Amino acid sequence: MIVVTGGAGFIGSALIHKLNQIGRKDIIVVDELGTDDKWKNLNNLQFIDYMEKDFFLEFIADDYEGKSKFEAVFHMGANSSTTEKDMSYLIENNFEYTKDVAHYCARNKVRFIYASSAATYGDGSQGYKDDHEGIVNLRPLNKYGFSKQLFDNYALKTGLINEIVGLKFFNVFGPNEYHKGNMRSMVLKSFEQIRDTGKVKLFKSYKKDFGDGEQKRDFVYVKDVVDMMVFFLENDKTGIYNVGTGEARSWNDLATAVFDAMGKPVKIQYIDMPESIRHQYQYFTQAEMSKIREVGYSAPFTALEEAVKDYVQNYLMNNTLYLG
C-alpha cells in the first residue's frame, strides 16, 4: 500500500490521480479536510482508506514492531502558505510532522518521499543547485521556506537523507489547486481576472535589473511534477532533488500565455507590491535539473505555453477543476 499525506491537496491529489493511471489503487489518503473544498479533489480518485492527520500520527507512533504493510509514504502534508506568520504552527506542521513520519518509515523500511520547496533557496544568491553540500548554507526569505529548510538540514546532518527522498518543488500550477485561496497559481488567478475584467494585474519591480512583470520563476506543470514523483517510487534513489523545468520565465510570459490560450488581447496592469512582502520576494528562480537527469529521469518537461494551454482550455474554460 501507498500512503499519501496531504492527499486531498493540490499536488497530493494530482499524485493519486497519476498513481490510479498506472494501476495503483492500494492507497491510503491522509489529510485534514477541515472546512474548505479540497475534499472535492478526492471525488474522482480511487483509494482504500482515508485518515485524518491526528489519527495517522497516533497510528505510526504505536507501530514500533515493524508491522507496517506500507510500500511507500509520499509526505505532501504541510502548511504551504508563504505568508504564514505563526512560526510555531509551521514548525509543528512542516518540521515535527515530517520528522515523525520520516522516522516511522526508516524504522519500518518504508520508502519515504517528502515535499521540500524552492522557497528554501531564498534570494537565489547561492544559486539553485540541489547538491547536498550547498543546501545547508541556504537562507530562506520567509518563515515557510525556513520550516522546510529545517527538515532538509535535519535529514542531511543526521544521515537520514541516505534513506529518503526530498523534492524541492518550484512554481507548480495545474488542475486541483482551486481550493488554495491566495496561494493558487497565477495561471488560475490570471484566468479569473481576464474572464472578469479583460486584464491581468502584475506586481511592479523594485529592482533595477528587472522590468515590471519581468521577475522570473521556474513554472512547472503539475502533470510533470507527479511524473517525477512516481519516478522516485519506481527507482531506488535517495537524496534531495529539484522539481522544476530548468527554465525561468517571466510573469509577463505567463500572463501572455493565458491571454493567448483564452483567445484574448494582452492587457497587463502593473500594480504596487505590498510592502509586507517586498523584503521576502524572490525575483528569480530557476531549478538546476542536472541531478535528477543524472539518476535516470529522462522525460521532457512541458513548455510553459503548452502547459498553460492545456490547463486553460481543457480544464478552466470547461469549468473542470479536477484531474480525472
Q: Could you list the pLDDT tens digit for every one of the 324 residues in the chain?
A: 999 999 999 999 999 999 999 999 999 999 999 888 899 999 999 999 999 999 999 988 876 555 567 999 999 988 766 667 788 989 998 999 999 999 999 999 999 999 999 999 998 999 999 999 999 999 998 999 999 999 999 999 999 999 999 999 999 999 999 988 888 999 999 999 999 999 999 999 999 999 999 999 999 999 999 999 999 999 999 999 999 999 999 999 999 999 999 999 999 999 999 998 888 888 999 999 999 999 999 999 999 999 999 999 999 999 887 786
Of these residues, 180, 199, 201, 223, which one is catalytic? 180
User: For residue 194, which of 296, 101, 265, 277 has the smallest C-alpha distance?
Assistant: 265
| Domain annotation covers residue 267 | no
DSSP 161: G
Q: Given this model, what pLDDT does residue 160 score?
A: 97
| Domain annotation covers residue 212 | no
| Residue written as grid cell 497559481 | 185
- Positive or negative CA dihedral for 117, 118, 121, 126? positive
Q: Given this model, what pLDDT does residue 99 score?
A: 96
What residues contact residue 138 under an 8 Å CB cut-off, 6+ apart? Answer: 120, 121, 122, 126, 149
| Domain annotation covers residue 169 | yes
* Beta carbons of 112 and 73 less than 8 angstroms apart: yes
Cell of 153: 538540514
Query: Domains in the chain: how many in total?
Result: 1
CA R_g for the chain: 19
What does the pLDDT look like over 104-156, one tens digit per residue? 999 999 999 999 999 999 989 999 999 999 999 999 989 999 999 999 999 99
Residue 267 bears catalytic tag = no
Domain that holds residue 13: 2-173+219-247+285-302
What residues contact residue 271 under an 8 Å CB cut-off, 6+ apart? Answer: 201, 202, 203, 204
| Alpha-carbon gap, residue 118 to 242, rounded angstroms | 8
* Beta carbons of 141 and 122 less than 8 angstroms apart: yes
Q: What is the CATH number of the domain that holds 298?
A: 3.40.50.720
User: For residue 144, which of 95, 187, 188 has the smallest C-alpha distance?
Assistant: 95
| Domain annotation covers residue 68 | yes
| Domain annotation covers residue 33 | yes
At CA 249, angle to CA 246 and CA 250, rounded to 5? Answer: 155
The burial class, CB within 10 Å (0-12 / 13-18 / 19+), for 105 is buried
| Domain annotation covers residue 293 | yes
Long-range contact pairs involving 188-196 (C-beta distance under 8 Å, separation at least 24): 188/316, 190/254, 190/255, 190/258, 190/259, 191/258, 191/262, 191/312, 191/316, 194/258, 194/259, 194/262, 194/264, 195/262
| Domain annotation covers residue 198 | no
Residue 99 bears catalytic tag = no
Of these residues, 114, 121, 144, 311, which one is catalytic? 144
Q: Given this model, what pLDDT does residue 29 score?
A: 98
The burial class, CB within 10 Å (0-12 / 13-18 / 19+), for 45 is buried
Which residues, in sequence order, are bridge partners of residue 4? 29, 74
| Domain annotation covers residue 134 | yes
